[in-house]
Structure 1
């Protein structure tokens, strides 16, 4: 039986903090899902069905995410941390404040 990969499946992968979609020969990817995959630069890894069980135990790349926020007093420190952590490869979410 074929598995249908929809845009909602791609959103679920993103919500988990991953940028990797594992696809087997039994999968059909909808056009809307493909659009989102391209926009979000998600990596498609094609595996055979027998490889899937082994892949589940493998160490996939970890996405390092940090959310940062501050009040107006900490604005300069927050911006310094955002740049520093971005340079280190972290994905960041800035929750403000956005001015001094």
Structure 2
């Protein structure tokens, strides 16, 4: 029986954050070009390009922070909301 062949394309969730940022930059360049081709003003296309670039930069910063925080071990307990060493108080009515 032959060995199974691994897929040539990785799953979308397995792509690194840099691939996502590359596609966002591509969109930042493509959208204004399409707007200009459809007859929008250069000022309007430039405004859209700047807005998309700002969103892309913000998302890149958040992605990098998320990856950095995900690789760091957490000091807080992972289960439950009660973090005290004290026994819970029972209220009787």
User: TM-score by structure 1 length?
Assistant: 0.24
Higher relative strand content: 1
Q: Which has the larger radius of gyration?
A: 2
Higher relative helix content: 2
